[in-house]
Amino acid sequence: MLLYFFITCFSFILFLKPLPLKPLLPWASEIRLLSVWFLKDLFLFSYLGSLRNTLLEVFYINIIPLKTSIKKMSLSSSARAEKSALDDETGGMSVLDLPELALECVLERLPPAGLCSMAGVCTSLRERCVSDHLWEKHMKHKWGRVIGPAAYREWQWHLASRKDLGSCKQGKPKGLMRLLSIFWPSSWSTPKVDPVNNSRQRSSLPVHSIMSWYLALETGKFWFPAQVFNRENGHVGFMLSCYDAELNYDPRTDTFQARYPPHGRRAISIESGVPWERLRAPSVDTSPHDLHISDCLHDLLPGDHIEIQWRRNKEFPYGWWYGVVGHLESCDGNENYCRCHNSDTVVLEFHQYTPGSRWRSTTVNRKEHREEGNEADGFYGGIRKLYKNEEISRWKRLWPTEVLE
């Protein structure tokens, strides 16, 4: 822009009014035409720039949805004053000057730590950053594999039993706010100056929000129910099984601590260093002490993959064990002549055990199946059929390296 201006002015001074005593050189007329061309381009550039600014102004005023405009017009006086204070600190420009849709897009792309940091900037951003719709995808992405309805109920009970979880009184911070001061930016949990009243205020975290639940899980202070594959570090007595436990997360090692409930004469058993790969949300919303009502018995065919409840005795909780549906002794396994699906007896096989082992197979009644078994071989409970390849593949990845006796 400055170059165009310099060339135009300089050439006009030299050649637009030449001295009358000396004729112009032959190339002077070409330079004169060149200056006129630059002048035309300069005016055109200025005109286009003005036109572009006008179009942008029309776009932001008229194209942005009416809902956004109404929301901005309804800002409280305190929010406008806060924005004005931020503008003064940042030289007249802040993130709040972004259009509503643009700001929302930025917040949706922030990781959890970024949202926590942004929430510590001001009240307006904090109200946006704690929104459930921003934290829902983070919760689903990281915790969706291990969190189920039972964990949600436990969290609601936890909130009801600690009504002051989100309170943050003067003095030593309590509850989740103390955890935030350790694991998250200090700007979130320390007192802030109100730009309107010049008073120091403490931020409070909405305890019923998804953000609050996410941070409680992330900091490892909330125990939640889930299920653990091959419990007790893959003990031979629990291979290809999945048992209920209470878990809490260790952010330093990115693993879990599992606490198995007491049963019989055994006290609470605790296992540390459980990786994500050995965890899942409960497959059914049934207590480990209750019989699962089977709804798939009439659909079972040889070759189907199943999970079945099993417990050592009546005092033990149920665990889920992996198996497949087999053929009756009277069937040779030929698919063209197999009639096993017409029989009331269903054969269940557990191929992780050697042929001849008492744990290798069992039978259940298709029509009148309840808990079956004895004190010597244990008790078999409800059955669920595995329809998803993901579930089947997960069991196969846990297959023992040696056949069990």
Q: To the nearest 10°, report the CA torsion of 81, 86, 91, 95.
A: -110
**Euclidean distance between CA atoms 271 and 266, whole angstroms:** 14
The pLDDT value recorded for residue 205 is 66
- Over residues 52-74, mean pLDDT: 40
Whole-model pTM: value is 0.68
Neighbour tally for 258: CB within 10 Å: 24
pLDDT interval class at 188 (50, 70, 90):
very low
pLDDT of 78 higher than 80: no
Q: Using one digit for the tens of pLDDT, what is the confidence trace for 92-124?
A: 667 788 888 888 898 999 999 999 988 888 888
The structural domains of the chain, with segments of one domain joined by +, span 101-144, 145-159+208-282, 304-398
- Model confidence pLDDT, tens digit, residues 219-265: 998 999 999 999 887 777 789 999 999 999 999 999 999 999 887 67
Model confidence at 61: pLDDT above 90: no
pLDDT band at 405 (very low <50, low <70, confident <90, very high): confident
Dump pLDDT digits (tens) for 299-338: 999 999 999 999 998 889 999 999 999 999 999 888 888 9
User: Does the structure show a pLDDT above 80 at 185?
Assistant: no
Share of the chain above pLDDT 90, in %: 46
